[in-house]
Amino acid sequence: MLESEFDVLADGRSLGLLSAIEFDKDRKTGERFETPKAPQVVEMAGKLGLICWSVTYVGTAASHY
């Protein structure tokens, strides 16, 4: 799995063409990044032609990018 190749990937799962990736600063403790990384990933993916959408949780509030 990709989790073994990238330290920031806490979890990855998919069902058919739908996939989800969770990014954590520390995979073992579940510590989150101070700044959400999802907007950067969405931007880079778009430049490569991949259409994606993200949900970033800060506390209990969700932000969509």
Cα of first residue to Cα of last residue in the chain, in angstroms, is 26
Residue 1 has pLDDT above 70, yes or no: no
What are the pLDDT digits (tens) for 3-53?
677 778 888 888 998 888 888 888 888 888 888 788 888 899 999 998 888
CA dist 43 and 61 (Å) reads: 21
Determine the pLDDT at residue 61: 61
Q: pLDDT band at 59, cuts 50/70/90?
A: low
